[in-house]
Chains A and B, each alone.
Chain A
Amino acid sequence: MPTPKPQKKNPFEKKKQSLFSKEVLIAIVLVVCTYFILACTFGVFGKIIANGAPVLAQYGTHFLTRSPETLVVTEVAEGENFVLPEDAFEVVELYNPKVEFKNTREGQTDEKTERFKIPAGVHAIPDGWVAELESANKGLYINWKSRNPDVDLVVEVAEDTVLTFDSANWEKFRTPIRDNMRVKRTELFNVKETTHTLVVKAGKTRLSKGVIGALDPTDLIYIIQSVLTDDDAASKLFDVEIPNQQTITVNDNIFNTVIGEGEGKLPTISASTDVLITDRSRVTIAAGHYLVPLTSYFDLKDANPGIQFSVRQGKREGVVMGEFPEDATLELPEALYADFIRENPALPVEHIETLSTPTTTITFDLGEPTDLSMPNTERNQLAIFNPSLKVEKEQSFSYSGGGVKGPLIGTALLVTLCIVVALFIGVSASVYLNEYSGKGKFLKTVRLAMLNLAGVPSIIFGLFGLMLFVIAAPRVTSTPAVNDKFKIPLFPSLSEPSMRKMEAEQILAVDSNTSTADAVIKAKTIGRAKFYKGWTFLSFEGWGTSLLAGGLTLAVMVLPVIITACEESLRAVPMGFREASLALGASKWQSIRTAVLPYAFPGILTASVLGITRVAGETAPIMFTAAVAAKSNSPFEITGEPGIVNATENFFLQSLQALPYHIYTVAGRIPQSEFTEPMQYGATLLFLIVVMGLAGLSVWLRIRARKKLKW
């Protein structure tokens, strides 16, 4: 401590000093506050860049050109001569930088494709083959006139098989295929079947659970007074009321269950027994392919439920009458083609040529058992090219392999749609607010609404979008959904939906003079989702989880931002421009169009970029309105019926993957592990780069516009 000074010149000296140090302290606190925030910002960015950049560097373009897939980690035993196509091998190498692939060498295989012609006309094709042909031939869409029970189906009997028929059925079955069937042995035998006719007493009684179960398929009307639950034992008793005296016929099995001594059995007045004898045939059929009429095929299946027959079909109603409006030249891989010919002998297929594409393959050795991680596609190829692959163990991680192409495109589409709509409405609204409207109640209301809209949480916009766009938005359609909000009939429909569409979308076709209400009831009772009655409706049934719903939800959300920014740019155009234009005799609209909007354009551009920045990062509003976690095809590959109207509809009404939702999925909905981390950081960094790039662009545009446009 310095010695106190002898004379005190300034009595406030000390106070001033303490004031000074206090001020310095406050200043330091303020500086620390500011720079702490900056440090946090750099910390967040730094950490994500530090972890994401190596991922992006490792995977490079792969990350941008592939959509999310399941990541498979396969434990492969050591061995030699593993084969993979060149591009697949490159991917595997990319995913396993630490693994040493020994002795890699190039080779070649030929991938053979058969090209063939199906002449114009209507042909019977099994359901399964329709899907197979369509997946091998892009753009092919086979429409069908009907499902036809009169056509023959090729049934493959893999080995000699013993079939059992009622004798009558056997004759029925045998007649149409007598020519091509090789029957090895036929054996006739009789089966005795006993039926019982029971007269059941009316009134209240107690039945056991087992008895009730046995009575269920019979015609007996009984009312259970207590509720059955699964955990009750079969002997548990239930109060049952039998409303009137009834007569039922039951078989032996049921009879033995329901009749007897003791509690819980069915009370009867009398019982009589009949014996039925049926002839049966036991037939042994040789292995081979047989042409069987579709109806007989079902008889066959019903009579022999335990036996599996190999028939390529999607549904039970196997064969459709596919329509080929003109000669179709199609392709199928070699192996499939052979099956196709064998299973469709009736089809007039004309073979054209065999195409062979040489593929470079890489053969490699693995010195020791190794964990190989790769996307599912590559894993499948590994299995195809190495039939003797020995796999010890396998783990899979959903959505963590591949790249982010799908989500990236999805986000781009959503944002584009959103901005187009929001700019249109936003510019129009701001023109009104700034150019037309005087001060008044309407203006006040609009401003208040905008102000409040800006403060609404994004999840509420999600709910709004769900209610308005997903569930209740109007569609013009000739096949309205039965559970829509309401519908307005418009005009007779122009074309009938195809049979294929009817089945795919569960449409019930009714007579055109059925009333709409009746049609709805009818469709509901047989469990159909839509109906067709030859009339076009404006049906308020919503657009489902779709690009359109999501884009519009985002547009509504970003509206306040866009309007405010547009208004600012309109206000910046000097009054003199308008006045000069009006003085020259231009109408109001003319002067806005020629003297105001062009000069506000840079500002509007800034507004749109600002809007994109806002909506690109939003997850909550698209969660229930547009986004899905998995989607197999790209948004631009539109499946379904051809035609521009259908394609447009399918395009806008498809659900999408979106980058923020994808990040949510990999971060929050699947279990964490070291294998999921690259996708998490990679996708996030990429997303951050996109959004921050846009944000930077908007800042730059704004600065430039302010500098440049000064009047």
Chain B
Amino acid sequence: MSKKATNKKSRGSFDGRGSGNFRILGLQLQDIIKAFFGGNAAIAVVVIALICFFLAREAYQFFPDYRAELEVYRKSGQEFVGFIDDEASKHQEIKSLAFQAYGYEIYHRTKQHEQILEVYNELRNRSKTAAKGVLELRQRAFDKGDSIAAELDPKIKEAAEAEYKAHNTRAEKVISEYLAEFTRDDLSTASLSTIPKEDFELVKKSVSESMTSKNKEDAEFILETKMLRDAASEAAAKALEPFYAGVMEISAARNELDKMIKELRPHALKTKQFAVAYESAEARKEALAEGSENATSEERRARLEIESKRVLTTPPNYEERNQILYDSIEAHSAAADSMLTQTRSGVAKLDASMLKSQDAIDRVAIIQKKSKKLSDEINKTENALRVWNHKEPYSGWKTFFGFFFGQKWVTNSTWQDFYGLAPLFSGSLIIAVIAIVISVPFSIGAAIYVNQIATQFEKTAIKPILEFIGAIPSIVLGLFGILVLGDFLQKVSAIEWLANLLPGFPIESRLNMLNAGLLLAFMAVPTIFTLAEDALNNVPRAHSEASLALGATKMQTVLKVVFPAAISGILAAVLLGFGRVIGETMVVLLVAGNRISVPDFTAGLGVITQPAHTMTGIIAQEMGEVGEGTLHWRALFMVGLILFLISLSLNWAAQSVIRKFSRHH
């Protein structure tokens, strides 16, 4: 690499320091040694420069390529259909929320019975696995007793029955032993562990009864529960009839628009195929011609030549193909209007006062909010459609903004790939903020305690332990998040009073931003702690001595003299901790849930319990599967570049905070 001389000063040959007249290229041995060491020192610079170069080079080509692709997207009329699609997806949100609300309400009304049945099914399946062998043997004995041979010979029947009985007794024993050890916490779904203890015992009894009864009938208790459940759900359906009518009306509102999309989508897709084929046609033709020149056999040469001549190289007629889109604008406004009116009348029928489930009520509230925005959405689409023109070139700025603020990150799509940073960036940022908000008070509290208050023994014991945390590999913490923390959080969040108290509880998915944030908070502790402790350590003793001499208490000295004096070092520690957290890969890849969409901020603070994807995670997940030089590859490098710039600027900020601080002293 750049081992080139850093110092080309040639010295006289008799300076008494070298090894006589040994020279290469006019350099003395000592100079060469120095240059060699200097070259190694320069590697750090070279590496940074190369990282910048690679990231920048790949990312630099991203925008023009992306723009060209979006230009095709516009020319082929896909953009036009995309507008209508977006509008439809807004309605889809309302529709699925409505169905969810209905489902939650029904479940809520039959919950006490449903849960018992769910537990019953789980226990039954588990006992079946536990006593698998015996049950299998029992089944065979039964079959033997049921066979024609047994019909003819009573001896066989008797023997089979005895065998059956023996296996049955054993099965009963195995199952009852298994069930005796099984507690409510062992159930696979956390929310089920809240069922009443008496019910749980009854379920256990029913399981062992039904498994060992001859005709495997369900026990009395279960049959009763099933009846109750059926009755309850029937009653619920009846009571909710007007509500359901509203749901159905909302659902039906989009039929016309859907029909329109179904017609236009394939048309636009086909135009795109023309466009894509046209773009590569010349190259394909040439490649085939070249191939035929270099072909090994005459037969193959002729074949390639024919194929080369068959390639179409004229551009598609966009004007003609897009006319159908321009013509559909009126039809669209009619469809959209009818969708709006029907949705409105449907939403009006969703009466929250007849609901009992909090989940359902929440959803109805969201529906009402969203349906109000629907008309804006339709107007927006309408305007966009009217001004849309396939000939208008796609502007560079729009591409640029489309990347940085785009809400979609869609890859390997048959329709169109979109590279929007917003979902990834917001995921990374929220997780990092959670981690820092949790980590900072604890680490700084610990730093103050260890540095100022703790006994010597505590100091020597605690510091290495906290430094040890830094050595825990991130993949280990990720695994901990998947196997332990996820379930733990879900269980805790299902506790009634906590669920009512905190937003976002109970948690819906095991892998989410909170889970990842907690783990990253733990990971950030050693960084922040060590640097903050150093900063506190660097405060001159004279400060605290002066304060104590003036009669301040120990605490006053710590909080009002030492801490403010170290504040900039602590700030730098927090910044560096933030940098470490936002660049962390494995934990977020495993634990954040990897759902690529902008988190739903309408949930307020509860947003932190949603799954998300991150910038680091997307690189780690997708980089291995993309071809070199493709647009997707470049998009990932672009994400890498942004990540790199973020970490550089955090680093720079931390350094300048420290510099400012040291100038004061």
Judged by a CB distance under 8 angstroms, whether B149 is at the interface is no
Can you list, as one digit per residue, whether each of A498-530 has a CB less than 8 Å from chain B (1) or not (0)? 000000000000000000000001100110000
Contact between B296 and A526 (Cβ–Cβ < 8 Å)?
yes
Contact between A522 and B294 (Cβ–Cβ < 8 Å)?
yes
Contact between B473 and A687 (Cβ–Cβ < 8 Å)?
yes
Question: Please, which residue of chain A has its CB at the minimum distance from the CB of B308?
Answer: A221
Within 8 A of A (CB), among B130-150: 132-134, 136-137
Complex CA distance for A524 and B424, rounded to whole angstroms = 39
Contact between A437 and B41 (Cβ–Cβ < 8 Å)?
yes
Judged by a CB distance under 8 angstroms, whether B623 is at the interface is yes
Query: Which residues does chain A contribute within 8 Å of B441, judged by CB atoms?
Result: 33
- CB-contact partner of A458 in B296, B471, B484, B583, under 8 A: B583
Please list 12 pairs of residues, one from A and one from B, whose beta carbons are closer than 8 Å in the complex, sorted by A's number: A29-B445, A34-B445, A36-B442, A47-B480, A369-B133, A430-B41, A457-B644, A458-B585, A460-B51, A624-B623, A691-B472, A694-B471
Known contacts A44-B522, A455-B650, A432 near B294 by CB under 8 Å? no
Judged by a CB distance under 8 angstroms, whether A468 is at the interface is yes
Complex CA distance for A688 and B477, rounded to whole angstroms = 10
Contact between B310 and A224 (Cβ–Cβ < 8 Å)?
yes
Can you list, as one digit per residue, whether each of B303-316 has a CB less than 8 Å from chain A (1) or not (0)? 00010011110100
Judged by a CB distance under 8 angstroms, whether B365 is at the interface is no
Contact between A468 and B54 (Cβ–Cβ < 8 Å)?
yes
Within 8 A of B (CB), among A563-621: 563, 587-589, 613, 616-620
Shortest Cβ gap from A36 to chain B (Å): 6
Contact between A433 and B480 (Cβ–Cβ < 8 Å)?
no
Judged by a CB distance under 8 angstroms, whether A263 is at the interface is no
- CB-contact partner of B18 in A19, A37, A525, A587, under 8 A: A587
Judged by a CB distance under 8 angstroms, whether B448 is at the interface is yes
Contact between B47 and A457 (Cβ–Cβ < 8 Å)?
no
Complex CA distance for A8 and B300, rounded to whole angstroms = 113
Query: Which residues does chain B contribute within 8 Å of A436, judged by CB atoms?
Result: 34, 37-38
Contact between B48 and A452 (Cβ–Cβ < 8 Å)?
yes
Contact between B19 and A456 (Cβ–Cβ < 8 Å)?
no
Known contacts A33-B441, A452-B651, A457-B644, A677 near B483 by CB under 8 Å? yes
Complex CA distance for A709 and B137, rounded to whole angstroms = 74
Complex CA distance for A371 and B134, rounded to whole angstroms = 12
Judged by a CB distance under 8 angstroms, whether B371 is at the interface is no
Contact between A442 and B648 (Cβ–Cβ < 8 Å)?
no
Contact between A370 and B462 (Cβ–Cβ < 8 Å)?
no
Contact between B616 and A620 (Cβ–Cβ < 8 Å)?
yes
Given contacts A451-B655, A587-B18, 17 further A-B contacts (CB under 8 A): A34-B454, A34-B462, A37-B529, A44-B472, A48-B476, A224-B312, A227-B273, A436-B38, A452-B651, A458-B585, A525-B290, A559-B44, A588-B34, A620-B586, A667-B482, A677-B483, A691-B472
Can you list, as one digit per residue, whether each of B643-661 has a CB less than 8 Å from chain A (1) or not (0)? 1100110111001000000
Judged by a CB distance under 8 angstroms, whether A317 is at the interface is no
Judged by a CB distance under 8 angstroms, whether A4 is at the interface is no
Query: Which residues does chain B contribute within 8 Å of A424, judged by CB atoms?
Result: 40
Contact between A44 and B450 (Cβ–Cβ < 8 Å)?
no
Within 8 A of B (CB), among A302-344: none
Known contacts A226-B274, A451-B651, A663-B475, A457 near B585 by CB under 8 Å? yes
Query: Which residues does chain B contribute within 8 Å of A560, judged by CB atoms?
Result: 44
Judged by a CB distance under 8 angstroms, whether A699 is at the interface is yes
Can you list, as one digit per residue, whether each of A98-125 has a CB less than 8 Å from chain B (1) or not (0)? 0000000000000000000000000000
Query: Which residues does chain B contribute within 8 Å of A144, judged by CB atoms?
Result: none
Can you list, as one digit per residue, whether each of B623-641 has a CB less than 8 Å from chain A (1) or not (0)? 1100010000000010010
- CB-contact partner of B475 in A522, A587, A619, A672, under 8 A: A619
Query: Which residues does chain A contribute within 8 Å of B314, judged by CB atoms?
Result: 225
- Chain B interface residue number, banded: 35 or more
Known contacts A463-B623, A613-B471, A668 near B306 by CB under 8 Å? no
- CB-contact partner of B19 in A37, A587, A667, under 8 A: A587
Query: In the complex, which of the residues A31, A368, A459, A461 has the most CB atoms of chain B within 10 Å of its own CB atom?
Result: A459
Contact between A30 and B448 (Cβ–Cβ < 8 Å)?
yes
Judged by a CB distance under 8 angstroms, whether A41 is at the interface is yes
Complex CA distance for A616 and B628, rounded to whole angstroms = 28
Contact between A429 and B473 (Cβ–Cβ < 8 Å)?
no
Judged by a CB distance under 8 angstroms, whether B339 is at the interface is no
Contact between B553 and A19 (Cβ–Cβ < 8 Å)?
yes
Known contacts A38-B462, A219-B306, A691-B472, A229 near B273 by CB under 8 Å? yes
Contact between A456 and B445 (Cβ–Cβ < 8 Å)?
no
Query: Which residues does chain B contribute within 8 Å of A33, judged by CB atoms?
Result: 441-446, 449
Interface SS of chain A: helix
10 nearest CB pairs, A to B: A457-B583, A617-B473, A33-B445, A368-B133, A432-B37, A428-B40, A695-B471, A23-B555, A429-B41, A30-B449
- CB-contact partner of A457 in B311, B556, B643, under 8 A: B643
Contact between A464 and B474 (Cβ–Cβ < 8 Å)?
no
Contact between B522 and A40 (Cβ–Cβ < 8 Å)?
yes
Query: Which residues does chain A contribute within 8 Å of B402, judged by CB atoms?
Result: none
Contact between B476 and A27 (Cβ–Cβ < 8 Å)?
no
Judged by a CB distance under 8 angstroms, whether B468 is at the interface is yes
Judged by a CB distance under 8 angstroms, whether B479 is at the interface is yes
Contact between A227 and B449 (Cβ–Cβ < 8 Å)?
no
Query: Which residues does chain A contribute within 8 Å of B18, judged by CB atoms?
Result: 587
Judged by a CB distance under 8 angstroms, whether B466 is at the interface is yes
Judged by a CB distance under 8 angstroms, whether A300 is at the interface is no
Contact between B445 and A38 (Cβ–Cβ < 8 Å)?
no
Contact between B479 and A425 (Cβ–Cβ < 8 Å)?
no
Query: In the complex, which of the residues B44, B312, B525, B583 has the most CB atoms of chain A within 10 Å of its own CB atom?
Result: B44
Query: In the complex, which of the residues B51, B589, B652 has the most CB atoms of chain A within 10 Å of its own CB atom?
Result: B51
Query: Which residues does chain B contribute within 8 Å of A44, judged by CB atoms?
Result: 472, 477, 480, 522
Query: In the complex, which of the residues A23, A371, A560, A681 has the most CB atoms of chain B within 10 Å of its own CB atom?
Result: A23
Question: Please, which residue of chain A has its CB at the minimum distance from the CB of B138?
Answer: A368
Complex CA distance for A692 and B17, rounded to whole angstroms = 47
Complex CA distance for A563 and B43, rounded to whole angstroms = 11
Contact between B133 and A370 (Cβ–Cβ < 8 Å)?
yes
Contact between A456 and B51 (Cβ–Cβ < 8 Å)?
yes
Contact between B306 and A460 (Cβ–Cβ < 8 Å)?
no
Shortest Cβ gap from A688 to chain B (Å): 6
Judged by a CB distance under 8 angstroms, whether A466 is at the interface is yes
Query: Which residues does chain B contribute within 8 Å of A668, judged by CB atoms?
Result: 478, 482, 589-590
Complex CA distance for A354 and B214, rounded to whole angstroms = 60
Contact between B473 and A691 (Cβ–Cβ < 8 Å)?
yes
Known contacts A47-B484, A466-B623, A455 near B647 by CB under 8 Å? yes
Contact between B478 and A425 (Cβ–Cβ < 8 Å)?
no
Question: Please, which residue of chain B has its CB at the minimum distance from the CB of A522?
Answer: B294
Shortest Cβ gap from A655 to chain B (Å): 12
Complex CA distance for A445 and B37, rounded to whole angstroms = 15
Complex CA distance for A521 and B555, rounded to whole angstroms = 78
Complex CA distance for A223 and B448, rounded to whole angstroms = 79
Contact between B655 and A588 (Cβ–Cβ < 8 Å)?
no
Shortest Cβ gap from B364 to chain A (Å): 35
Complex CA distance for A467 and B634, rounded to whole angstroms = 12
Query: In the complex, which of the residues B58, B309, B555, B643 has the most CB atoms of chain A within 10 Å of its own CB atom?
Result: B555
Query: Which residues does chain B contribute within 8 Å of A589, judged by CB atoms?
Result: 29-30, 33
Contact between A369 and B41 (Cβ–Cβ < 8 Å)?
no
Contact between A432 and B446 (Cβ–Cβ < 8 Å)?
no
Complex CA distance for A123 and B645, rounded to whole angstroms = 63
Known contacts A521-B290, A619-B586, A624 near B624 by CB under 8 Å? yes
Known contacts A223-B310, A463-B637, A464-B51, A684 near B476 by CB under 8 Å? yes
Question: Please, which residue of chain A has its CB at the minimum distance from the CB of B555?
Answer: A23
Contact between A620 and B620 (Cβ–Cβ < 8 Å)?
yes
Judged by a CB distance under 8 angstroms, whether B453 is at the interface is yes
Judged by a CB distance under 8 angstroms, whether A53 is at the interface is no
Query: Which residues does chain A contribute within 8 Å of B294, judged by CB atoms?
Result: 521-522, 525-526
Known contacts A431-B37, A449-B47, A464-B51, A369 near B137 by CB under 8 Å? yes
Complex CA distance for A563 and B590, rounded to whole angstroms = 32
Query: Which residues does chain A contribute within 8 Å of B42, judged by CB atoms?
Result: 442, 446
Contact between B306 and A468 (Cβ–Cβ < 8 Å)?
no
Within 8 A of B (CB), among A46-76: 47-48, 51, 75
